[in-house]
């Protein structure tokens, strides 16, 4: 099961980095850790530079000043190899246009750029696959679709309730990713608190997703012939 899950990731059916950030003002997007420029976090693409930085958790807005990027390296001479990597990084950053809007997050299940391809019963029927039962195989209640899987089915709802109690923030009253993100963007909290909660939310989504995908992976194998 685990090997099949990895195969699905490697084949491109399931993306390895499901959270994408559309940069706005950069105040709630972690420069190194969030996927906001390219297909993976910058710490993965520029790992040597990442380990040379003094502050590993700053936001995009923290180092961008008047169209310039300012890092605080651990040493003045970062070395020729790292200097070349820095040139590549600055070249990538040349395509970044910050605005006064808030940063927005998108939950991307597939490399096609949309979570609508997650092989739930509902989506498979929309794609012409014959499914006799629309019911959710995870809880046997309700129609299996994206919002049900992540927010409405009994296990997911209980997880959100307990995480809400732990963080002292009500998180179990939302029935979709868009509704949750709408609340998040308007939540009146400082940048550090928003980043911590965002990390928690995305971790919960990731765990629910993996749980659901591993339980229903036989459906993926049947439709796509992975094995």
3-state SS assignment for residue 118: coil
Range picked from 4-8, 26-30, 127-131 for highest mean pLDDT: 26-30
pLDDT band (50, 70, 90) for residue 113: very low
Instruction: Please give the Cα distance from 63 to 78 (Å, whole number).
Output: 18
Q: Which residue shows structure tokens 């996927």?
A: 35
Q: Could you say which DSSP state residue 73 is in?
A: B
Evaluate if residue 138 carries a pLDDT over 80. no
Domain ranges of the chain: 1-16+115-227, 19-107
Q: Report whether 181 contacts 107 (CB < 8 A).
A: no
| Separation of alpha carbons 49 and 51, rounded Å | 5
Distance of CA 186 to the CA centre of its chain: 19
Tens digit of each residue's pLDDT (9 = 90 or more) over 13-63: 445 566 778 899 898 888 998 889 988 899 999 999 999 999 888 889 999
Tens digit of each residue's pLDDT (9 = 90 or more) over 171-227:
777 877 778 877 877 788 876 787 778 778 877 877 777 776 666 665 555 555 554
């Amino acid at each position: 099961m685990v090997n099949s899950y990895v195969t699905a990731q490697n084949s491109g059916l399931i993306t390895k980095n499901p959270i994408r950030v559309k940069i706005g003002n950069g105040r709630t997007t972690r420069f190194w850790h969030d996927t906001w420029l390219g297909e993976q976090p910058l710490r993965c693409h520029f790992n040597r530079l990442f380990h040379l930085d003094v502050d590993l958790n700053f936001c995009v807005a923290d180092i961008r000043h008047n169209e310039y990027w300012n890092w605080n390296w651990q040493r003045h001479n970062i070395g020729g190899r790292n200097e070349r990597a820095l040139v590549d990084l600055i070249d990538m950053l040349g395509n970044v246009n910050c605005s006064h809007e808030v940063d927005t997050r998108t939950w991307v299940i597939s490399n096609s750029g949309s979570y609508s391809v997650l092989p739930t019963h509902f989506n498979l029927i929309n794609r012409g696959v014959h499914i006799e039962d629309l019911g959710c195989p995870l809880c046997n209640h309700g129609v299996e679709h994206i919002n049900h899987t992540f927010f409405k089915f009994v296990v997911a709802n209980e997880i959100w309730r307990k995480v809400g109690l732990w963080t002292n923030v009500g998180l179990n009253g939302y029935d979709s990713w868009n509704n949750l993100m709408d609340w998040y963007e308007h939540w009146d909290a400082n940048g550090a608190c928003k980043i911590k909660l965002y990390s928690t939310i995305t971790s919960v989504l990731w765990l629910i997703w993996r749980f659901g995908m591993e339980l229903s992976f036989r459906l993926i194998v049947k439709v796509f012939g992975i094995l």
